[in-house]
Amino acid sequence: MTEDADTKAAWVAADWGTSHLRLWPMAADNRPLCRIDSDRGMGTLERQGFEAALIPLLEPYLSPDRVLDVLCCGMAGSRQGWIEAPYAETPCPPPSFAQATRAPCGDSRLAVHILPGVKQMEPADVMRGEETQIAGALALKPQLDGVICLPGTHTKWVSVQAGEIQRFATFLTGELFQLLSKHSVLRHSLAPKGWDRATFEASCLDVIERPHAFANMLFSLRAEGLLKDLDPVIARSRASGYVLGMEIEAMRAQWQDRSVVIVGEDEIAGAYAAALGTQGVVAQVMDAEAVTLAGLCAARKQM
């Protein structure tokens, strides 16, 4: 806890994901007093365990003479979460507090509100948590008419126009790369970390020109490691370029000749920006935490 952590919080912003929980006690002017990190993600909890996980983290801010509002996005609202928050359906503006679901709390000092995710019926797709980052990006760039890319294990590409989510697509690219690097024959050839940008960019271009050879390109990394002592960092960079190149090519019709914003952590956001750069796209990168907070604050205005 920082010194500011003892300041009275007006409300609490929360991002409750599968593997993590992040809390920001907020001052009345929507300034975060501090950030509280926990590994008590949705995936580690039974339904009855959410309140018990939350209270010890917020105890310094709780008072018997008032109710502390917690506004939460993410997987706490999933079917396996604290309580299921129904999806809003595209096309739609990012959900606000008016659509939030009240979570059951035994502690009268807390009122927990969980924002809904967003669903798309055709083609079928869903998101939880990313809709709040979209709200944040739109709050920071109100005139945005283009595509928001949200990189991660399951990357989202979201087309926005006039403040609404028009359509979106999810790619399993991050999970696919993890499977390839940890559970396939390529685990013997890829370095656990490290990145060579020039190699990555060349591999993006290669797979975009020859997408039919994707699986062959991947196996060549193993063969070159055995026969030519291919540097494991170069192999990792090539594999990353192949999987990201396939993804950005698949989304070409959405990003071509449009504004592109990438919301993410430095390393992965930089990789997506580099991949798009091979196609002449100059994307704006926005910090994931700042955008998440902006989205929660935008939803809070409806409270």
Question: What is the 3-state secondary structure of 246-263?
Answer: HHHHHCHHHHCCCEEEEE
Residue 302 binned pLDDT confidence (cut-offs 50, 70, 90): confident
**pLDDT at residue number 2:** 40
Cis peptide before 123 (omega within 30 of 0): yes
Is the per-residue pLDDT at 109 higher than 80? Answer: yes
**pLDDT at residue number 210:** 97
* Cα–Cα–Cα angle for 172, 178, 184, rounded to 5 degrees: 110
What value does the mean pLDDT take over residues 58-64? 95
- Residue 233 burial by Cβ neighbours in a 10 Å radius (0-12, 13-18, 19+): middle
What value does the mean pLDDT take over residues 91-112? 96
Q: Are strands 68-74 and 125-127 parallel, antiparallel or unpaired?
A: unpaired
**pLDDT at residue number 50:** 97
Residue 227 binned pLDDT confidence (cut-offs 50, 70, 90): very high
Length of the chain as a residue count: 303
d(CA 288, CA 139) in angstroms, rounded, equals 14
Here the tokens at position 214 are 């994707």
**Closest listed residue to residue 66, CA positions, set 110, 104, 27, 7:** 110
What value does the mean pLDDT take over residues 156-173? 98
**Closest listed residue to residue 21, CA positions, set 55, 69, 48:** 55
Give the start-to-end residue ranges of the domains of the chain.
3-128, 171-287
* CA pseudo-torsion sign 153, 159, 162, 166: negative
The answer to whether 93 touches 164, Cβ cutoff 8 Å, is yes
**pLDDT at residue number 108:** 95
Task: Enumerate the H helices of 104-196 as residue ranges.
Answer: 130-140, 173-183
CATH topology of domain 3-128: Nucleotidyltransferase; domain 5 (3.30.420)
3-state helix, strand, coil in the chain (%, to 5): 45, 25, 35
171-287 belongs to which homologous superfamily?
2-keto-3-deoxy-galactonokinase, C-terminal domain (3.30.420.310)
Residue 6 binned pLDDT confidence (cut-offs 50, 70, 90): low
Q: How far is CA 295 from CA 28, 49, 72, 224, in A?
A: 16, 26, 11, 46
Residue 7 binned pLDDT confidence (cut-offs 50, 70, 90): low
Is the per-residue pLDDT at 1 higher than 50? Answer: no
